């Protein structure tokens, strides 16, 4: 990849890294604090979701370094660069956590799709492919979460 494309993709990927890591931590927050009649099922689901996000976080960070960048992946770095709102701290009911995560997964999915378009436009098929796979995983997990809110 040309240097200017790599530079643009490093910025794009670090933005995605921040949001993905932030979402992963918010899902763990829900996992630790969920209460209510569906506690056990949601506790397990949230842990599975966080695990998939952890794998994506690693893949995104490795792509940054593979194209010559520096992965900005600490908790503090993610906090500074994430586009996601913070999960509310005044909830603990399962449905409230599910709704909060649906909102954040929706934002993250939209951002991933914008990243796919930007990577395609820049001519970086590999980054576009990575973000496409991430988008598929996020969209599927969003579907799992949304199903809990349907009657």
Buried b (16+ CB within 10 A) or exposed e, 5-31: ebebbbebbbbbbbbbbbbbbbbbbbb
| Interval 58-95: pLDDT, tens | 999 999 999 999 999 999 999 899 999 999 999 999 99
Residue 119 has pLDDT above 90, yes or no: yes
In this prediction, residue 32 has a pLDDT band, given cuts at 50, 70 and 90, of: very high
Q: What sign results for the dihedral spanned by CA atoms 3, 68, 83, 45?
A: positive
User: How does the average pLDDT of the chain come out, rounded?
Assistant: 97
- Cβ neighbours of residue 24 under 8 Å, at least 6 residues apart? 50, 53, 54, 57
């Amino acid at each position: 990849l040309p240097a200017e494309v790599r530079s643009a993709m490093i910025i794009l990927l670090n933005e995605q890294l921040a949001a993905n890591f932030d979402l992963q931590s918010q899902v763990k927050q829900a996992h630790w604090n969920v209460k209510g009649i569906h506690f056990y099922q949601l506790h397990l689901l949230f842990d599975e979701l966080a695990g998939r996000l952890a794998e994506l976080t690693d893949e995104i960070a490795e792509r940054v370094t593979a194209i010559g960048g520096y992965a900005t992946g600490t908790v503090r770095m993610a906090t500074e660069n994430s586009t996601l709102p913070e999960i509310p701290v005044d909830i603990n009911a399962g449905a409230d956590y599910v709704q909060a995560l649906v909102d954040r997964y929706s934002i993250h999915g939209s951002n991933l799709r914008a990243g796919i378009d930007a990577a395609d436009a820049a001519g970086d098929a590999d980054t576009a492919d990575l973000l496409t796979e991430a988008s598929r995983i996020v969209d599927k997990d969003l579907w799992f979460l949304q199903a809990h809110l349907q009657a």
